[in-house]
Amino acid sequence: MTLEVMFEISIPFVMANLLDKGVQQSNMSNIWLYGGLMLVCAFLSLFCGMQSARYAAFASAGFAKNLP
């Protein structure tokens, strides 16, 4: 879950770099670079969120199985 939050928090910073270094300077290579980096962060966040939910469900099912 920590990794998911870190990726989610990094997206606005990457967007700020995209606007500062790409759009304001009309540098298309930086726009593609930071846009791709944002997509990677979004997909990694999605993956980490899915894994977090999977392990949480597994742990809660195991805990419920051990209840008297």
> What tens digit of pLDDT does each residue of 8-60 get?
999 999 999 999 999 999 999 999 999 999 999 999 999 999 999 999 999 99
What gap in Å lies between CA 18 and CA 58, rounded to an integer?
A: 39
Cβ neighbours for 8, distance < 8 A, ≥ 6 positions apart = 45
Report the predicted TM-score, pTM, of the whole model to 2 decimal places: 0.81
**Residue of 68, 4, 16 lying closest to 42 (CA atoms):** 4
What gap in Å lies between CA 29 and CA 36, rounded to an integer?
A: 11
- Which tokens go with 19? 């606007």
**Helix intervals (H) in the chain:** 2-17, 28-65
pLDDT level of residue 1 (50, 70, 90 thresholds): confident
pLDDT, residue 59, reads: 94
Domain boundaries, the chain: 2-65
